[in-house]
Amino acid sequence: MSGKSKRADIPLYLCDEHNEAFYYWYKARVDGYIKKPTDIFHIDAHSDMCCADKFKKSLYFNSSDERKVLNYYKEFSQNDLKICNFILPGVLVGLIKNIYLIHPLWREYKYQRKTRQTISTVFGEGIHLRYGIVPDESVQLAFPDMKSYNSCICNIAETPTRREVILDIDLDYFACRDSISNIHHFDLKITKEQYQQKKAFGQDKRLKFAGLQFKFFKKKENFFVRVSKTPVKEMVHLPDKQQINTEIDRVVKQLVQKKISPQIITICRSCFSGYCPKEYYGYIESNLTGKLKDVFPIIN
């Protein structure tokens, strides 16, 4: 892999959780890097294709003030989008044309080409979303913002060639913990009386249906209960550094060989959610960004 791409500089943005990527895609359009609906290469251990029912604020915001536009979509990505449903809104606002869901080999998914789908909002207000409505004249008034798209499940070797793309990568593609509920908990401060009644609380037969665990403890002069979900079977892919480096090389080599031209690159750490374990994401990020900068004219 020698020589950099001949296209203009490519912005690369790092985000802690994946819903933030939507903001950077919109910023790339405002900054002139994305000039038309563009295919997305979503390189991830998960599809992130969940369908939101509604948003608190409209997906659409019009203003001649670029700063107001960017502030609006920064807040929207943080407050209205989740880490599993940020891709399809990109279709509605005209950022994304077709979707390539590129999963790692360890997922053992088979190539799957989906039929053409639609997405729209009721009366085009950008709040109540509808999916899969057949486009025809009879629904045009009710869903004037309807967009169509194709999506495909594949691995990196099965992607098309010579495409301009939004290159979107989640570090959990390289190392992943799906059973993140096992590592999440929160502590509630309780009274001394509640602490003393912990045995009776634990005997409540209704608790087994809650799917929660409770651990009581004392810290200095205060009392707490730690609430966590009942542990599930660990589902992890935790390769060694050599395996990670091999897979990074394979992904970047395929992008170069297929003459892929990223318009923007977003990389998600998935560090707060825990999908990429904390002991991995720093190493993967450093090596991945280094390899990408070797072959693309990236600016930060």
Asked if residue 5 is part of any domain, the answer here is no
pLDDT tens, residue by residue, 95-149: 999 999 999 999 998 888 877 999 999 999 999 999 999 988 889 999 999 999 9
Q: Please check whether residues 76 and 214 belong to one and the same domain.
A: no
Angle at 163 between CA 157 and CA 168, to 5 degrees: 70
> Residue 5: its pLDDT value, please?
40
pLDDT tens, residue by residue, 225-236: 888 788 778 789
Asked if residue 86 is part of any domain, the answer here is yes
Residues 121 and 101: their CA atoms lie apart, in Å, by 24
Q: Please check whether residues 215 and 274 belong to one and the same domain.
A: no
Asked if residue 49 is part of any domain, the answer here is yes
- For a pLDDT cut of 90, what percent of the chain falls above it? 74
Integer CA distances (angstroms), 102 to 21, 162, 174, in order: 17, 16, 12
Range of the structural domain that residue 200 is part of? 181-229
Q: Please check whether residues 273 and 199 belong to one and the same domain.
A: no
Which pTM value belongs to this model? 0.86
Burial class (CB in 10 A: 0-12, 13-18, 19+), 56: exposed
> Residue 3: its pLDDT value, please?
42
Q: Please check whether residues 21 and 126 belong to one and the same domain.
A: yes
> Residue range 177-198: average pLDDT?
84
> Residue range 255-260: average pLDDT?
98
> Residue 2: its pLDDT value, please?
39
Q: Please check whether residues 171 and 202 belong to one and the same domain.
A: no
State yes or no: pLDDT of 7 exceeds 70.
no
Asked if residue 3 is part of any domain, the answer here is no
> Residue 4: its pLDDT value, please?
44
> Residue range 262-275: average pLDDT?
96
Asked if residue 4 is part of any domain, the answer here is no
Q: Please check whether residues 217 and 291 belong to one and the same domain.
A: no
